[in-house]
Amino acid sequence: MVSVRTVLVSLGIAFTAYLTARGLAWTEHVAYPIVVLGSVALYLLTTLLCLLYDRGPDTVRTDDMPLTAGIHGPASLPGWLWGLALATALIVPNAVTLGVGPEYRAEPFATWYIGGIGALMTIVMVRRRTWAAWIGIGILTAVSMTWLGPGQALALGLVGSIVWVLAAQLLLRSMDRAARDTARLAELQRAASAWRAAQDGRQRERRIQVQRALAVAGPVLSRTIASGGALSPDERDEARLAEGRLRDELRAPRLLDEAVREALDAARSRGATVTVLDEGGLLGVSEEDLTTIRQELAETVAASVSERIYIRTSPDDRVAVTVVGRSGVEGLMSDEDSVDLWREIRHPGAEKAASGA
């Protein structure tokens, strides 16, 4: 498949060949043929270099770099090449005019440089050297008006050359603006897709939590409604356990697996008050590490004899979960002697990093 770049370069080469042919189509005997031939050769070489030279795709990008630069569009010319283009804009018109002689300055084979340098500066503009292109047009304007006069220079194509460069600049700006808009639209689409995926994930998680809550509390609620709230002591104990399970499922689902649930139920069954909270301390923890944390948590709760057990995730980079157990009367809650369990479950990843270091 032929790319747009190939088509544009081919058109540029064809137009350059046409202008070069005009410069060689002498209808009169010129004064210094070798000077004219050298000028045409310099123009042809410079134009082909500006058309075909490519340093390869840009590997370093900055925020102010045009989005259509490099692999996305025309790359900028190196300094030596646009400098050569400006030198050509100065040398070729003067050399051609001197080479054909004063009597043929206004002939088509002598004024081809007006269109030729205009085309060269258009290429320089497309290759992202705006100021160099306008400086080249300024040189062309000064030289052609000096040799031909303002009116004749404008009539023989100077206006067209200026319009070409201006049109190239406006077109390039439109391309860059369109590329930026496309990039912003793609970024917004990615953000919208990510937001929707996150919302879908939250909805699925809420549905799972609701299903678990119904599975835990549904039977107890049904019996409570059927009996009008007149529950037996065993049913009251079961309702208390169901309430605790429901709070656990809503407050700390990432901490729970079957072993942890059984340990929490066992602690509540012996009369302990258990509070479980996950405040985001386990976000980003892998499933493998979560399994290790849950296993240690289940063992800690199962071995505890405390009357009140507090389980919370930790924001610390090294500690995943903190388990605190207290016993004694409520009035001694502030007494450190009432703390009979203190366990910090460390992040498995942090332990691996410490052992590796």
pLDDT digits (tens, 9 = 90+) for 25-34: 777 788 888 9
Q: What is the pLDDT of residue 66?
A: 46
Handedness of CA 302, 306, 309, 315 (dihedral sign): negative
Report, as an integer, the average pLDDT of 300-318: 88
Q: Is the pLDDT of residue 2 over 70?
A: no
**In 3D, which of 270, 264, 267, 232 has the Cα closest to residue 248?**
264
Do 191 and 146 touch, CB atoms closer than 8 A?
A: no
Coil vs helix vs strand at 312: strand
Q: Which amino acid is at 305?
A: V
Joined tokens for residue 293? 């944390």
Q: Which residues have CB under 8 Å from 271's CB, separation 6+?
A: 307
37 contacts 30 by C-beta, under 8 angstroms: no
CA distance 196 to 163: 49
Contact (CB, 8 A) for 128 and 171: no
What is residue 103's predicted lDDT score, i.e. its pLDDT? Answer: 86
pTM of the model: 0.56
Mean pLDDT of 20-46: 85
Please report the pLDDT score of residue 298 as a whole number.
92
CA dihedral for 18, 21, 23, 29, sign (positive or negative): negative
Q: Lowest mean pLDDT: which of 77-86, 204-213, 293-302, 342-351?
A: 204-213
Torsion angles phi and psi, residue 5, rounded to 5 = -60, -45
Confidence of residue 67 (pLDDT cuts 50, 70, 90): very low
Cα Rg, the chain, nearest whole Å: 41
132-188 pLDDT, tens digit per residue, is 999 999 999 999 999 998 999 898 889 999 999 999 899 888 888 888 888 899 999
What pLDDT score does 139 carry? 95
Minimum mean pLDDT range among 19-23, 313-317, 334-338: 334-338
252-357 classified as CATH 2.20.28 = no
- Cα–Cα distances (Å) from 349 to 160, 271, 318, 345, in that order, read 70, 35, 8, 12
pLDDT at 333 over 60: no
First-to-final CA distance of the chain: 55
Strand segments, DSSP code E, in the chain are 273-277, 308-313, 319-326, 339-346
Residue extents of the structural domains in the chain: 4-190, 252-357
What's residue 317's pLDDT? Answer: 79
